[in-house]
Structure 1
Amino acid sequence: MEETIAGPEAAHIPKQRGDSLLEAAVRYAEERHWDVFPGTWLEAVEGMHRCSCDQPSCSTPGAHPAGDDWATQATGSATAVRRMWSTRPTASILLPTGRTFDAIEVPETAGFLALARMERMELTLGPVTLAPDRRMRFFVLPGAAAKVPDLVRNLGWSPASLDLATLGEGGYVAAPPTRYGSRGAVQWACRPTPANRWLPDAEELISPLAYACGRDR
């Protein structure tokens, strides 16, 4: 059963039910052919959730790379994924960007506004995550990181004036059902389905995203 929660612009977010981190990580590798790698995890200490990195000021507890060699650990092999999560079953699921996809990141309020606008425009979307840090990440074809600044300028905006970022080579996103400390879990705003296996180009989505970020300032 899927639970949905209402958000701005009457959007709905499917909540993950009954999926272990291992099962989800294997599915991403097998069904989407995404590289995945295990990140940090949460540890219960005196009734509180603490990141395995042991940094008191950790901004994304339980949801960031565990070491500098994370890029070499990322794999699309389901066998390797099972092996990694069998030894670290509570590790977060992280997906490297700049390989099979880049991601355009915007604030949650702008993301919901953009989703409603994209629906009216009948645009084809790729997967979209909503994280507890109140940021949404729109998956697009690789190469977006290099193109987005010029695309934003062509729309009449200064890239520095918008709360819009692009994650490409060297970046990563956390995938459902990864949890951020006590703040909740990453969810799909647009779930991966056979219909959105082919990702949109950044150019197709940048106008509604930039417009929404401009209104959200």
Structure 2
Amino acid sequence: MANLTRAYLWFYNTANLIFWFICVVVTFRLLPDAIETDNVHTIFPKTSPLLVITQSLAFAEVLHSLTGLVRAPLITTTMQVASRLLLVWGIMTPFGGEIVGGSEPGLGDFAYLGCVLAWGVTEIIRYGFFSITLSGNAVPEFWTWLRYNTFYVLYPVGISSECALIFLALGPAGAIDPLFKYFLIAVLVIYVPGSYVLYTHMIAQRRKVLRGKKRAD
């Protein structure tokens, strides 16, 4: 049973690694030409379907934590996954044409790119780390460094981009239902303490891992 669980987790993490790698590569292959021609707004409709599918795979991580398949904290895992799913299904999918990918480049387009950059690079590093570990191989020193240091920059970029997209969606959400708008306002308010909890959790994890590594050395 343990071997089956390990094989499943390796497959899950490797599949996510591949999906995120493709998502990032496709997005940033389009970026130079889009910037040169002032067509950044065209990136969203070309890449968002892949991003939605890729990000939605993370729902399984809540189930992994809930069932004890992995030791990840349920609350922090749920908070992180829920915020991402809100962005792709509650913001990008219904309002993408209005706040991102419009006729002219705008804040929404750059916030979308910020999400792809922050989410994509973070997840490539994270899933790659888990995939290597589950394969039974030693994780390279530089990969461990990336795993426990890049979040210092990528997390603020991701959070800022997410908040920008939610803020831009307030108008379209209110046009559908005022309660939806109030819900998104509440989400923005919750983002402040929620981001602090997740950020400090990652810092604590970094200290714990590096402390253990020093002892092992």
TM-score range relative to shorter protein:
under 0.3
User: By percentage of residues, which structure has more helix?
Assistant: 2
User: By percentage of residues, which structure has more strand?
Assistant: 1
Higher radius of gyration, 1 or 2: 2
Instruction: Tell me the TM-score normalised to structure 1 length.
Output: 0.26
